[in-house]
Amino acid sequence: VTLGSPPRQARLGPNARVWLLSASLAAVAVALVFSTRLEGPLLRLNTAAVWIAVTVAFAASEIWVVHVQFRREAHTISLSEIPLTVGLFFIAPWALVLAQACGVAAALALHRRQSPVKLGFNLAQMALSTAFAVVVFHAAIGRADPLGPRAWLVAGTATACASLVGIISIRAAISVTEGRIRPDKLLEVTLFSLVGTFVNTSLALVGVVTIYRDARAGVLLLLPATALYIAYQAYTRERQKTERMEFLYNTGRTLAGTGSADNGIVQLLEGAVEMFRAEVAEVWVRTAPGDSPGSRTRVRSGQLAEVEAIGDGEYSEGLLEEIMSTDRGAIVDLRQSPPGARRFLERHGLRDAVLTSLKAENRVVGAILVGNRLGNVSGFTPDHLNLLETVATQVGAAVENARLERVLQHQAFHDALTNLPNRALLNERTETALARPGSGVAMLLVDLDDFKVINDTMGHSVGDQLLVAVAARLERAVRDSDTPARVGGDEFAVLVENMSADGDATAAAHRVIEALRQPFDLAGQKVAVSASIGISTNIGGLLDPGALMLQADVAMYAAKAADRGGYRVFEPSMQDEVAERHALRDDLRRALERGELVNHYQPLLALEGHAVLGMEALVRWRHPDRGLIAPGFFIRLAEESGLIVQLGRWVLREACRQLAEWQRLRPAWPLGVSVNLSAVQLRQDGFVDEVVGILKATGLDARSLTLEITESTFMDDTRTAIARLRELRGLGIRLELDDFGTGFSSLSLLRDLPLDGLKIDKSFVDGIRTESDRPVFLQAIVRMAEALDLEMVGEGVEEAHQAEALRAMGVQRGQGYLFSRPLPAEDMGAYLRRSVSLADAEDPAVVRMPARRRSD
Ligand code: C2E
Ligand code: CA
Ligand code: CA
């Protein structure tokens, strides 16, 4: 047993005390040896040869020690009891102590390069142990048969004594250097050593008996001794392997299981210091574009020591920069590493360390370090580096996921262009504000006048600039307690809370109008913009957020109609607008009965090669007076009134019937149809049976049908919705999440959904400015879809460069005006027939889209 756990303070001063302790131990050892008054050995063989063999064996036993690790405690089993036992029988006491001193000194100084103070201590401590063994052995053996059972017992007792003395001396040294006594684990260590001692001693006794009978038989013993050593080693390795696997398994679980990656990282670092038997573990996380600042998290001695925000400057530090740019980890220590690495260690208060970069996908997101290995037996090895690399991959992925989650979280509640809160967040805040008893709440709906003109004449990008500038002014104009939001293309809203009088709402409107009065500087031109504001309040009665918004909307239209650039407060007489909606609802009911609904179909294409894969059914209302009405005007209404159930059923049946007909054009063509599903429909009991019935009636294979759902499907009753979708998917129906990226809030929910694909919302496709443009959030979506093994459809593709960029990013399918607008059924049929004849003429294997023709 050698001195474990090197106390850090040992370098600082208590060295002298250790020297003193060593000297005392050595003195006692010498006194003991000579007290035996024994000149010669118990048994005589070729003394010189035995002495040399024993010396070499002592040296060897220190070089090939067996480290057995239990958690932070390192047990070192040395085979030194073997030469010790042999020596007790064949060598004179003083010669035995000398042999040990020579052998051990050579091994520790040359092989393990121990510092003088440790070397001195270890030598003294071992000399004392051996001296004890000698005294006990010679006192107890008396006149017994030197090769008989009694002698064996005596030898065992002697080596056990030596072992105990060793343990006590080491504890003494630790107390001397650390200034305190640590009784922990003493029993465990002691028992562990004694077991090793008995095994080794028995082996040695077999050797003694055999060699004395016939020295040549020693050769026979070599084999079992080697086997024993190998068994020890194998055990240690196995044990380490299991521990490492356990550790990696636990890190994975920790990172996946904790809600936030930050917690997970702390737990992981705590695990790492144990696993690596080190004092310090640290993780640096670099800032990512559009994210919170970078951070450094440090765990010391098993506890969170510090977390600090750091700037990018930290990474320009030599060693870190090298690690993070070269993609290779390093093992460094204060004694042997180049000056740059030493400076790094000194700055961070470390003696030695193993460190590597954190990689997520193909980006370096930071670095991880484990430092100050405990125990002086060995420093960090390439094995440790390997282990750390694996941990780093897990941490890197966790860091990246956490970042994504934060981005998505933000995205779910903010408008991507202006970064203002979106409708969802506004609704949430309104609900909270209304729930507070006795508080005055007002909603201002701010609609820019003539925004469409600016957008059309000056271009989209100028339009976007204007929206951003308006958002900035709006933010400055409102009080801190108010919430400005973007609720539509050119529609903003301000939630005013804690009103004391109804004049507060109009004051807020004045501030907004004032803020927009100065012309905007856009593309070198001064552009004047005005806004019409509708105001509603909860004064005079409780309202829910929807009603508050609706009244503000009505008031806003009134303001627009009266004098643009002004504001109006809601009055009941403005209800006419609302009444009109009611009228529309009755109209819609009749429309269903009279068969005024039609499906239009928009082709869906493979972005690679432009094969036609199918189409999405999009409903239209052929109104007798108003002409063709887009679904944007009546789907909400249908949902609110429950009419959507009937409407959706009609759309689905018609789409299935139509597709079955088209499939007969060319039976080998795997054509599919996508149908939008409203949350209300899915909530209906018997919905699944209804779908089964429709498929049967129309003779359509379930695999040709894709149902498109939105995240709103999961808002109310997530579990029922998921169960129902599982049933549908079980039938073979494909499921896709529509408008992806605009409103969902949880990655973990996404993981649980039974989905086949996602449709990337048009707003992200619009964000692709050039063919090589890779908007950050779009890329995040694509990566996530890939990770979840979901197919992707790019929606609203209008430009060729968008299609190309999507394709290059790995999005398989596309849909949009670039390929075709939604077409009436007849036109869609013609489109498909043209595609088929084109295929027959060129390449019968693929049915591609026909040359583009403007219609619809
Ligand atoms: P959606 O499911 O996201 O459908 C895509 C919408 O984007 C369609 O609008 C389509 O005409 C339009 N679009 C496609 N490509 C482009 C493009 O390149 N540029 C632009 N600017 N627009 C493009 P549409 O037909 O007005 O439908 C609007 C929404 O109404 C649909 O959005 C869907 O949510 C809903 N809807 C339509 N039919 C049904 C239905 O049968 N049931 C239900 N529940 N909802 C439906
Ligand atoms: Ca859709
Ligand atoms: Ca969509």
Asked if 289 and 776 touch (Cβ cutoff 8 Å), the reply is yes
Nearest ligand 1 atom to the CA of 631 is: 30
Say how many Å lie between the CA of residue 618 and the centre of ligand 1: 6
Nearest CA to ligand 1 atom 41: 619
Distance CA 683, CA 234 (A): 61
Ligand at minimal distance from the CA of 601 is 1
Asked if 280 and 298 touch (Cβ cutoff 8 Å), the reply is yes
Q: Are strands 330-333 and 352-360 parallel, antiparallel or unpaired?
A: antiparallel
Nearest CA to ligand 1 atom 12: 796
Distance CA 120, CA 24 (A): 11
SS3 assignment, position 80: coil
Nearest CA to ligand 1 atom 30: 631
Closest-CA residue to 22 (of 127, 114, 133): 127
Share of the chain above pLDDT 90, in %: 34
Nearest CA to ligand 1 atom 13: 796
The mean pLDDT value of the chain amounts to 84
Best of 618, 712, 817, 820 for a ligand 1 pocket test (most atoms within 8 Å of beta carbon): 618
Say how many Å lie between the CA of residue 658 and the centre of ligand 3: 22
Say how many Å lie between the CA of residue 675 and the centre of ligand 2: 7
Nearest CA to ligand 1 atom 20: 796
Ligand at minimal distance from the CA of 736 is 2
> For residue 476, what pLDDT is reported?
93
Q: Which has more pLDDT, 626 or 473?
A: 473
> For residue 600, what pLDDT is reported?
98
Say how many Å lie between the CA of residue 174 and the centre of ligand 1: 75
Distances, alpha carbon 508 to alpha carbons 434, 555, 810, in Å: 18, 15, 48
HSE of 383, CA atoms in CB hemisphere, 13 A: 9
Ligand at minimal distance from the CA of 619 is 1
Mean pLDDT check: name the lowest of 232-246, 403-417, 543-557.
232-246
Q: Which has more pLDDT, 406 or 442?
A: 442
Nearest CA to ligand 1 atom 17: 796
SS3 assignment, position 666: coil
Q: Are strands 612-623 and 520-522 parallel, antiparallel or unpaired?
A: unpaired
pLDDT tens profile 593-636:
999 999 999 999 999 999 999 999 999 999 888 889 999 888 98
Rounded to an integer, the average pLDDT of 412-438 is 89
Distance CA 64, CA 112 (A): 11
Whether 175 shows a pLDDT value over 80: the answer reads no
Distances, alpha carbon 562 to alpha carbons 517, 531, 534, in Å: 19, 13, 12
> For residue 1, what pLDDT is reported?
38
> For residue 11, what pLDDT is reported?
44
Distances, alpha carbon 71 to alpha carbons 189, 244, 370, in Å: 13, 11, 16
Asked if 340 and 320 touch (Cβ cutoff 8 Å), the reply is no
Say how many Å lie between the CA of residue 98 and the centre of ligand 3: 87
Asked if 454 and 498 touch (Cβ cutoff 8 Å), the reply is no
> For residue 575, what pLDDT is reported?
76
Rounded to an integer, the average pLDDT of 510-518 is 90
Asked if 137 and 96 touch (Cβ cutoff 8 Å), the reply is no
Say how many Å lie between the CA of residue 456 and the centre of ligand 2: 26
> For residue 856, what pLDDT is reported?
42
Count of beta carbons in the 10 Å neighbourhood of residue 378: 12
> For residue 421, what pLDDT is reported?
93
Q: Which has more pLDDT, 697 or 573?
A: 697
Say how many Å lie between the CA of residue 611 and the centre of ligand 1: 22
pLDDT tens profile 71-121:
445 566 678 888 999 999 988 888 899 999 999 898 888 776 777 888 888
Residues in contact with ligand 1 by the CB-under-6-Å rule are 602, 618-619, 630-632, 635, 648, 651, 676, 678, 738-739, 796-798, 815-817, 822
Say how many Å lie between the CA of residue 650 and the centre of ligand 2: 16
pLDDT range class, residue 6, cuts 50, 70, 90: very low
Phi first, then psi, for residue 36 (nearest 5°) are -70, -20
pLDDT tens profile 28-87:
998 988 887 666 777 877 778 889 989 999 998 887 776 655 444 556 667 888 899 999
Nearest ligand 1 atom to the CA of 815 is: 15
Whether 758 shows a pLDDT value over 70: the answer reads yes
Q: Which has more pLDDT, 313 or 654?
A: 654
Nearest CA to ligand 1 atom 25: 618
Q: Which has more pLDDT, 605 or 394?
A: 605
Q: Using the structure block, give the residue that is written with the tokens 């390439």.
A: 382
Count of beta carbons in the 10 Å neighbourhood of residue 216: 9
Say how many Å lie between the CA of residue 738 and the centre of ligand 2: 6
pLDDT tens profile 819-845:
999 999 999 999 999 998 888 877 777
Residue 209, burial from CB neighbour count under 10 angstroms (0-12, 13-18, 19+): middle
Whether 855 shows a pLDDT value over 70: the answer reads no
Say how many Å lie between the CA of residue 764 and the centre of ligand 3: 11
Q: Choose the most confident range, by mean pLDDT, from 109-113, 129-133, 750-754.
A: 129-133
Nearest ligand 1 atom to the CA of 630 is: 26
Say how many Å lie between the CA of residue 818 and the centre of ligand 1: 15
> For residue 12, what pLDDT is reported?
45
Best of 619, 676, 758, 768 for a ligand 1 pocket test (most atoms within 8 Å of beta carbon): 676
> For residue 257, what pLDDT is reported?
62
pLDDT tens profile 306-364:
787 777 666 667 788 888 887 788 898 888 888 888 888 888 888 889 999 988 777 78
Q: Looking at this protein, which amino acid is placed at residue 684?
A: Q
Whether 854 shows a pLDDT value over 50: the answer reads no
Ligand at minimal distance from the CA of 796 is 1
Distance CA 840, CA 366 (A): 55
Ligand at minimal distance from the CA of 605 is 1
Whether 639 shows a pLDDT value over 50: the answer reads yes
Nearest ligand 1 atom to the CA of 644 is: 44
Say how many Å lie between the CA of residue 454 and the centre of ligand 2: 29
Q: Which residues pair with 373 in a beta bridge?
A: 278
> For residue 798, what pLDDT is reported?
96
Q: Which has more pLDDT, 652 or 455?
A: 652
Phi first, then psi, for residue 567 (nearest 5°) are -135, 155
Ligand at minimal distance from the CA of 639 is 1
